[in-house]
Amino acid sequence: MTEYLIRRVLQSVLVIFLITILTFLLIHAAPGGPTQVMLSPGLTPEIFEQQAKNLGLDQPIPVQYVRWIGDLLQGDLGYTFKNHIAVSDLLWPRIGNTVILMGAAWLVSLLIAIPWGIYNSTKVYGLSDQTASFISYLGFAMPTFWFGILLQQWLSLKLDWFPLSDMYTRGKEGDIGDLFMHLVLPITVLALGFLASYMKYARASMLEVLDQDYIRTARAKGVKERKVVFRHALRNALIPIITILGLDLPILVGGAALTENVFNWPGMGRWFVEMAGAREYSALMAVTIVTAVIVVIGNLLADILYAVVDPRVKLGKQGGKTA
């Protein structure tokens, strides 16, 4: 197991290194740069060239890359070009904000989706199953930003039950109750989206398992239905669900740009889009690194949980499973 982990980590480091090179090349290939902002009469391109030079952006790309990776190895994520603010000062608070929002939405949706999906798999096409299907369709079909605006119009502007946007009311920063009130609407929007897919997964993978021979055997032996579902079927049904959850882990830090925009949530998704528009190379690279690390961790976690859930899977030498 340890040997397996070490091998996986080394592989991952190599992959991440290659990703950084590729991303660095890609974002520098995009036209424009961090210094160009506004057009006004008299602002000649020479001014912006001089600014780029003052920021070291006139250096060849390989030189810039080496400089960046050198800083990174010393734990320094660099500075924004536009205003020389440490990227780490910008990144970590946003990751925190996004984890709060996405984590809460994710938990809410899992707590509803998985039990409900399992329940529906035992009563296919019942009323509950039909309702769940309908909600899933809504979740898939409704554009999040549109649904978000709808909720704002109705529950905030009209009824005044919830705050319109932001993370905290001005002057109440850090107040948990206030944060909770601000979370309700965006979580509703995000959870509906997650709910739709997780419910489908849970139901489908349960149905697949319930169709297996050993389940039929169990039932034939006269095992109670409850025990069949929870003891025999569920453990096997969870395996694909865990895979999906592991692969979805990056969502937690990636954020959801559109929802964050509508609810003015100071999170990663929105920031990333903003930084891409502004060609803030260091910030974009920082996001890339963090996301890549999370993806790798997510995959690793999924594999380890596999072994926990499914005794047939052995990690390491004997097992056939490597990344």
Closest CB to another protein among residues 27, 301: 27
Residues 79-138 that bind another protein (CB under 8 A): 79, 82-85, 89-90, 94
**3-state SS, residue 1:** coil
Do the beta carbons of residue 117 and residue 132 sit within 8 Å?
Answer: yes
Contact status: 188 vs another protein (CB under 8 A): no
Q: Of these, 10, 22, 26, 37, which contacts another protein (CB under 8 A)?
A: 37
Least distance CB 173 / another protein (angstroms): 9
- Any idea how long the chain is? 323
> What's the CA gap between 235 and 241, in Å, rounded?
10
**3-state SS, residue 86:** strand
Distances (CA, A) of 4 to 1, 11, 100, 274: 5, 11, 32, 39
Least distance CB 6 / another protein (angstroms): 39
Least distance CB 245 / another protein (angstroms): 29
Contact status: 277 vs another protein (CB under 8 A): yes
Cβ-defined contacts of 210-217 (< 8 Å, 24+): 210/121, 210/122, 212/236
Contact status: 261 vs another protein (CB under 8 A): yes
Least distance CB 96 / another protein (angstroms): 13
Contact status: 45 vs another protein (CB under 8 A): yes
- H-only helix segments in the chain: 2-29, 45-54, 61-73, 87-122, 127-141, 144-151, 176-210, 213-220, 225-227, 234-248, 250-254, 257-262, 268-278, 281-309
Q: Of these, 88, 133, 165, 188, which contacts another protein (CB under 8 A)?
A: 165
Q: Which two tokens stand for residue 22?
A: 């590729």
**3-state SS, residue 315:** strand
Contact status: 272 vs another protein (CB under 8 A): no
Do the beta carbons of residue 301 and residue 9 sit within 8 Å?
Answer: no
Closest CB to another protein among residues 97, 236: 97
Least distance CB 157 / another protein (angstroms): 6
> What's the CA gap between 287 and 20, in Å, rounded?
11
Instruction: Show the site string, 7-36: x = touches another protein by CB under 8 A, - = not.
Output: -----------------------xxxx-xx
Contact status: 54 vs another protein (CB under 8 A): yes
Q: Count the residues of the shown chain that bind another protein, applying the rule CB under 8 A.
A: 53
Closest CB to another protein among residues 51, 197: 51
Q: Which stretch binds another protein (CB under 8 A): 61-69, 100-108, 202-210, 263-271?
A: 263-271
Residues at the site binding another protein, with contacts judged by CB under 8 A: 30-33, 35-48, 50-51, 53-55, 79, 82-85, 89-90, 94, 149, 152, 156-157, 160, 163-166, 170, 260-264, 266, 270-271, 274, 277-279
